[in-house]
Amino acid sequence: MREILTACTADCPGTCSIIAQVENEKIVKLHGNPEHDITSGFICRNAKNYLKERLYNDRRILHPLKKEDGKWVQISWDEALDMTTTKIKNACENYGSQSILYYQGYGARTALRLINRRFFNLLGGVSTLYGSICGGTGQAGQEMDMGVRLSHDPIDHLNSKVILVWGRNPAVTDIHLWKIIKQAHRKGAKLVVIDPVNTKTSHSADMYLQPVPGSDSFLAIAIAKIILKEKIIAEEFIHKNTEYFQDYHDLLNDYSLNELSRITDVPLNDLYKLAMLYANGHPSSIILGWGLQRYVKSHLTFRLIDALAAITGNIGKSGGGVSHGFDEYGYFNHEHALDDIAPNQRKLNIPIVGEELIRTQDPPIKLIFITAGNPLAMLANTHKVKKAFQSVDDVIMVDHFLNDTADVANLFLPATCFLEEEDLVGSYGHNWISPLNPVTPPCGEARSELQIFQELAVKLGFGEKMAGTPREWLGKLAEPIIREGISLEDIQRKPYRLPSAPITPFSDGKFETKSGKFEFPTELHLKITDEILNKNFNTNMGFSLRLLSVSPQGWIGSEIPDNEHGKSVLEVQVHPEVLKEKGIEDGEEVWLESIQGKLLVKVKENNEIRPDYVLTHRGGWRKYNKCVNILTPDLVSDHGNGAPYYETFVGLKRTT
């Protein structure tokens, strides 16, 4: 039996280093690499099931397809590449290169994907995407405070005396971080969880707060008011390393503690207990999640939480900080993407890409080229996104399965997966870079994205500018890593933590803001709090329940296992008081309605959730009537160009 080192490229903060076992030229098992400090020898069940659910799944598409009369027909690679070349040429010659939209999804975020951008820039510059459906809003808030988003090394949480997990469920969505948190907990650290949803993580907490969804900014204000009132502040840090403290201090007076307790639905006693526990932790760390940034003004939430760490001196301190995420592409040399040679590049905002496609003219979008993405399942306002994609002449997708987006495509190019590729991958959950070594030859006729774009470049006349083996390109892309003393050969043998990445960010007291200091939010930034109250805490056109859609344990993104597709309708969890008020029975199928549309769902009674929201999972497919984004409005956050999915209000209606 052979063992080959690779790494998972799923849209997950773990980015596990994986050892694949091969027997008789077939991969028989995947397990975690014990020599990777974060992976620590184990992997999640999604990775364990990858062979059955993804690599060797009978539904995986292994040959190029074209759509004829609404049905997929298998074709050769020669025909597929000729068709793709013709469509690209027609768009460029008749409308200009901006009429092509390149949609790079989140399904695989490896180093060689930067060369995809190179291809489109060599075309002269196309329309691409900006913004985020994940982390942009929170990152924008932290950049306002500190100039850059930098998180503590996950291992540093072992030095914490108090760990506050806010809007995150690592017991399900980041099991390697969860192992570290549990280890710190066993060492004596207090674990506090703040989340409107009573999660697997909250069940292990020493203290759990379940505030009104969307009230996190006000919760942070309340905690700060108590800390300041009790004078448990780091005066020296505030004086030497921060700006605008007095402005921040003054704005906290806009609300009384009684008011904040009412807004958040957190009792005053709990507010005091949390504030005292956090401020006296010495050190206390805060770990922020993705649920916090699914609101229009989430940047304020992040800023106000950052401020808690600043006033208590927990920034720049081992075991402290406010950790959110890492830049998985920050390890690589982006110059080879050639963004600077493409003056015609045009950008569309991904959270509202349906609207952007419909209104974009001069030139209009005529061709959409998608890699590693399923926008019809994952983007808000599915109806509008589908309408927009259907209005385009051609949609070409490179993927593994015929997902929702395949329904609007007319050409499908089968892609390799990480077990069939040579590459490098960073992580948005830690500072390790891991190798992907090819474990098995590509199944069927699947080809890597690099090979596809290289072959298209030859047909389009710039093949030499895209030429190079994966290893040759990796040598160029990995230049920043190599400059730190790690050779490409080294990193292909084992994963490495980037030596220059800080264990404890800002330990020197220097920040990348204009002032060089931590910058508190001021009255200027918070003058719209009344608007937040009016928008988020009142009923919206008769729909009084907020819709929260969270990541499930059984899959990542929209990579749904087969057994889920066969189940009846989408299940939503509802507090029994709501069901009683509506006269709805537990297990009944009802309409879940919003201003965007309606979806047939099955209600499940849950005493552990609040009565002001309904809870379900994200990632379900529209073709199986499980796409929650049929209900979500396409909005964009005030800062960071994020997708505020949780600004969705719904109602339940019986079918008869």
pLDDT tens column, 426-480: 999 999 999 999 999 999 999 999 999 999 999 999 999 999 999 999 999 999 9
pLDDT above 90 for 525: no
Asked if 212 and 281 sit in the same domain, the reply is yes
Asked if 191 and 284 sit in the same domain, the reply is yes
Asked if 453 and 313 sit in the same domain, the reply is no
Asked if 107 and 197 sit in the same domain, the reply is no
- For the residues 163-173, what does the mean pLDDT come to? 97
Asked if 306 and 173 sit in the same domain, the reply is yes
C-alpha 127/C-alpha 353 separation (Å) is: 11
- What are the pLDDT digits (tens) for 267-280? 999 999 999 999 99
Q: How far is residue 104 from each of residues 120, 449, 463, 553, measured CA to CA in Å?
A: 11, 11, 21, 25
| pLDDT at residue 540, as a whole number | 56
Look at the chain and report how many structural domains it folds into.
4
| pLDDT at residue 534, as a whole number | 44
Say which CATH number the domain at 13 has: 3.30.200.210
With respect to residue 306, please indicate whether it lies within any of the assigned structural domains.
yes
The residue written with tokens 């066969």 in the block is: 566
With respect to residue 140, please indicate whether it lies within any of the assigned structural domains.
no
Residue 342 contacts by C-beta under 8 Å, 6 or more apart in sequence? 120, 121, 124, 125, 126
pLDDT bucket at 581, cuts 50 / 70 / 90: very high
pLDDT above 60 for 605: yes
Q: pTM for this structure?
A: 0.96
| pLDDT at residue 230, as a whole number | 97
With respect to residue 145, please indicate whether it lies within any of the assigned structural domains.
no
Q: Do 115 and 466 form a contact (C-beta atoms < 8 A)?
A: yes
- CB-based burial of residue 239 (10 Å sphere; 0-12 exposed, 13-18 middle, 19+ buried)? exposed
With respect to residue 284, please indicate whether it lies within any of the assigned structural domains.
yes
Residue 323 contacts by C-beta under 8 Å, 6 or more apart in sequence? 151, 152, 154, 157, 285, 286, 287, 288
Say which CATH number the domain at 613 has: 2.40.40.20
pLDDT bucket at 135, cuts 50 / 70 / 90: confident
- What are the pLDDT digits (tens) for 330-388? 999 999 999 999 877 899 999 999 999 999 999 999 999 999 999 999 999 999 999 99
With respect to residue 503, please indicate whether it lies within any of the assigned structural domains.
no
> Which of 444, 478, 497 is where one domain is finished?
497
With respect to residue 198, please indicate whether it lies within any of the assigned structural domains.
yes
Mean pLDDT of the chain: 95
Strand, helix or coil at 197? coil
Cis peptide leading into residue 499 (ω within 30°): no
Nearest to 113 by CA among 124, 125, 99, 103: 103
Asked if 166 and 313 sit in the same domain, the reply is yes
Could you tell me the residue range of the domain that residue 24 belongs to?
Answer: 2-54
> Which of 54, 79, 98 is where one domain is finished?
54
Cis peptide leading into residue 283 (ω within 30°): yes
Asked if 122 and 185 sit in the same domain, the reply is no
Alpha-helical segments (H) within 350-414: 353-359, 375-378, 382-390
- For the residues 190-197, what does the mean pLDDT come to? 98
- For the residues 395-406, what does the mean pLDDT come to? 97
Helix axis angle for 113-122 and 470-477, nearest 10°, is 90
The residue written with tokens 């050190």 in the block is: 283
pLDDT above 50 for 526: no
Asked if 436 and 555 sit in the same domain, the reply is no
pLDDT bucket at 565, cuts 50 / 70 / 90: confident
C-alpha 411/C-alpha 420 separation (Å) is: 22
pLDDT above 70 for 532: no
DSSP string, 544-565: -EEEEEE--SS-BTTB--HHHH
Helix axis angle for 268-279 and 216-229, nearest 10°, is 70
Residue 167 gets the label, from left (phi > 0), alpha (psi -120 to 50) or beta, of left
- What are the pLDDT digits (tens) for 25-54? 999 999 999 999 999 999 999 999 999 999
Asked if 261 and 197 sit in the same domain, the reply is yes
| pLDDT at residue 342, as a whole number | 87
Say which CATH number the domain at 116 has: 3.40.50.740
Give the rounded percent of residues in the chain with a pLDDT score beyond 90.
91
> Which of 472, 497, 522 is where one domain is finished?
497
User: Which stretch of 64-78, 158-172, 552-566 has the lowest confidence by average pLDDT?
Assistant: 552-566
Q: Do 489 and 481 form a contact (C-beta atoms < 8 A)?
A: no
C-alpha 439/C-alpha 461 separation (Å) is: 33
With respect to residue 404, please indicate whether it lies within any of the assigned structural domains.
yes
pLDDT above 80 for 588: yes
With respect to residue 307, please indicate whether it lies within any of the assigned structural domains.
yes
Asked if 196 and 157 sit in the same domain, the reply is yes
Q: Do 494 and 5 form a contact (C-beta atoms < 8 A)?
A: yes
pLDDT above 50 for 527: no
Q: How far is residue 590 from each of residues 583, 599, 600, 603, 618, measured CA to CA in Å?
A: 11, 8, 6, 7, 19
Asked if 102 and 203 sit in the same domain, the reply is no
pLDDT bucket at 404, cuts 50 / 70 / 90: very high
Asked if 563 and 590 sit in the same domain, the reply is yes
